[in-house]
Amino acid sequence: MTATEDVRLARVALTWLAEPGTWAVHRLVDELGPVAALDLLLDGGAPDRALRSAVAVRSAGEDVRAVAEQALARTERLGARLVTPEDDEWPVRVAELRRLRLAGTNRKVDLETAPPLCLWARGAWPLAQAFDRSVAVVGARAATPYGTHVATELGYGLADRGWTVVSGGAFGIDSAAHRGALTAGGLTVAVLACGLDRPYPMGNTALFDRIAETGLLVSEWMPGAEPLRPRFLIRNRVIAAATLGTVLVEAAARSGATQTLNRAIGVLRPGMVVPGPVTSAMSVGAHELLREEPKARLVTGIAHVLEEVGRIGHDLAPPARAPERLRDRLDDEATQVLEALPRRKTLALESVATRAGVELRTAMRKLSMLEELGFVVRRDDGYALAPSGASRPA
């Protein structure tokens, strides 16, 4: 199932009219659907004054629908895509933000915790599959060598066992976690707080390119959106809710990373914290959480993390052979399509669809994904298994 164009347009417009996470907008969409909700807001019918004036300021002299159309066009030019709750690949777990319960945080932030209205994605993996078995690893930008080491090991270890490593793409711990996952040839997702055409920080451009190649860049903000300070905190709730658990490695007192961990606990995910030397300012936030948040769980490595998030027995077993990992994560249709391809022979699209027993449109979509992931190559006369066999990645 995919969203109709007017629904997609309305969701983009709503995301532009008010910052993602705004409950008043989320409730309107819940009641009326995105198209009617947009109409109501543009007619000045917002249920509360704050939203009404925010919409008025934002839309003054602007054709909001045209802005949304331009954003969608720009998305396509970027090689990115819009994903909405109507799409099959929507990461449904983010809906659990509705049930988020937070203790001891300030009210203003609490208000910005509604589920996202839509997400931008760049990278071949469907979001739902990428997040299915995923763990967030977050922490300080000003990480110490100790923290960097621990985050790299966790990123590597999780990816090596077939888990997706999710983080925020920042310097320090985030980067180390992403890099660890990439080194293991695994899947990693950077959830950004700005448009996908300007991933922040710029110094991580090469890293973002590598992530987009084999993993995913994800954002709630349309292309062109700036990485404004409050957006990082808004973004954090998606990291916390889309994953099965969050690990904090190094954090200064009351930092953004400790907030992500509180969000994870708030949506009933394991909130895991790696301790460090008590002499390090970069572990103060971690130790504060372990002292003050009864549900924060001390973990010292991959084994403890898997104990918390691994509900399936084999997660505790030795890792499967690396080349099979990405393939194991394909959905049923993609697997059928891949298995329909004969060894050393090219097959026309129609034949692939017939042999796989799927619709032509589905075969096309899956083949395109398989091509991007390097499982399949496109030839003039059809599709064939990639030369390296039916598996990669690098």
Secondary structure (3-state) at 137:
strand
Tell me how crowded residue 95 is: count the other CB atoms within 10 A of its CB: 14
270 sits near a copy of itself (criterion: CB under 8 A): no
Q: Which of 264, 274, 370, 373 binds a copy of itself (CB under 8 A)?
A: 274
| Smallest distance from a copy of itself to CB 153, Å | 9
**Following DSSP, what letter does each residue of 244-262 receive, concatenated?**
S-EEEE---TT-HHHHHHH
284 sits near a copy of itself (criterion: CB under 8 A): yes
Helix axes 23-32, 5-17, angle to 10 degrees: 160
| Smallest distance from a copy of itself to CB 287, Å | 5
| Smallest distance from a copy of itself to CB 165, Å | 18
Q: 93 vs 287, which CB is nearer to a copy of itself? A: 287
44 sits near a copy of itself (criterion: CB under 8 A): no
Q: How far is it, in rounded angstroms, from Cα 278 to Cα 111?
A: 34
Q: Which residue has the tokens 């409950």?
A: 23
Number of residues that bind a copy of itself (CB under 8 A): 19
389 sits near a copy of itself (criterion: CB under 8 A): no
Q: Are 216 and 189 in contact (CB under 8 A)?
A: yes
Q: How far is it, in rounded angstroms, from Cα 122 to Cα 108?
A: 31
293 sits near a copy of itself (criterion: CB under 8 A): no
The contacts of residue 319 (CB under 8 Å, 6+ apart) are 160, 161, 162
CA angle 209, 212, 217 (to 5 degrees): 110
Q: Which of 199, 215, 227, 276 binds a copy of itself (CB under 8 A)?
A: 276
304 sits near a copy of itself (criterion: CB under 8 A): yes
Q: 34 vs 285, which CB is nearer to a copy of itself? A: 285
Short-list 302, 298, 305, CA closest to 276: 298
298 sits near a copy of itself (criterion: CB under 8 A): yes
Q: Which of 58, 78, 146, 319 binds a copy of itself (CB under 8 A)?
A: 146
Terminal Cα distance for the chain, rounded? 32
Candidates 107-115, 127-135, 200-208, 278-286: pick the segment binding a copy of itself (CB under 8 A). 278-286
User: Between residue 119 and residue 138, which ones bind a copy of itself under the rule CB under 8 A?
Assistant: none
277 sits near a copy of itself (criterion: CB under 8 A): yes
316 sits near a copy of itself (criterion: CB under 8 A): no
* Alpha carbon 50 to chain centroid, angstroms: 30
| Smallest distance from a copy of itself to CB 289, Å | 10
Q: How far is it, in rounded angstroms, from Cα 321 to Cα 315?
A: 13
Residues in the chain, how many?
Answer: 394
Judged by the rule CB under 8 A, the positions of this chain that interact with a copy of itself are 146, 149-150, 274-279, 283-284, 287, 290-291, 297-298, 300-301, 304
